[in-house]
Amino acid sequence: MTKASDRAYEAIRGMILSGELSSGDPLREEALAQVCGVSRTPIREALKQLEVDMLVTRTESQRSYVADWSLDDVADAFELRAMLEGHAAKLAAERMTDEILIALRYCNNAIYEAISKPDPDVNAFLDHNRELHALVLKAAGSRRLTNLLTALIEQPVVWRTAHHYDPKAFECSHSEHADLISAFERRDGAWAEAIMAGHIRRAFHAYADAHKGMTKGVGETERGAA
């Protein structure tokens, strides 16, 4: 893609991931071009890439909308995440460096600070959580795994459900990250894989519980986070 397309892609992707654009919202090229400060051609290219990323859907009439994932779609995504990120954690444990360990501890400490506030800082939690999982992929050292997982990890459902977490959910996420770091410290790949897979599976059930609530217009609480 061109620089203008890249800029448009990042801008639209950011609006989808942040929730500024919600599932089912129409994506009109002219309006997006004005928001992104580019012509309509880069917008078209950006939307095509976002469709590949499964963040955008296109109808037969070539109209684009923010993707609306069903619970079955989400289940598939989380199942793939559990397998792929579990394998990434195994590789990361076997290839872990002291430098990345330090960065992982820093991220999880920052997560603790964010969730320990009287009013948890959800955006800070999301930022540091994303960074922690990215560090695991960095330690794994597999470009293919990184490419496969990037779209799965950064789906809007992650942002959406995090804003429905209760204090126990945040605590569970932090605690599981701490266990994962312990496995990395011991370079125990099997342990790290089991922790990560369980971490992701629990997050799915948390999402499923919240999804049932959101579809009823309630969506009050979560029981997990990844």
Per-residue pLDDT of 168-215, as tens digits, reads 888 999 999 999 999 999 999 999 999 999 999 988 887 777 666 655
pLDDT, position 220: 37
- Among 19-23, 95-99, 149-153, whose mean pLDDT is lowest? 149-153
Domain spans of the chain?
A: 3-66, 71-215
Confidence band of 93 (pLDDT split at 50, 70, 90): very high
Q: What is the mean pLDDT of the chain?
A: 87
What is the CATH architecture of 71-215? Answer: Up-down Bundle (1.20)
The pLDDT value given to residue 138: 96
CATH number corresponding to 3-66: 1.10.10.10
Average the pLDDT over 103-131 and give the result. 94
Tokens of 124: 């800070």
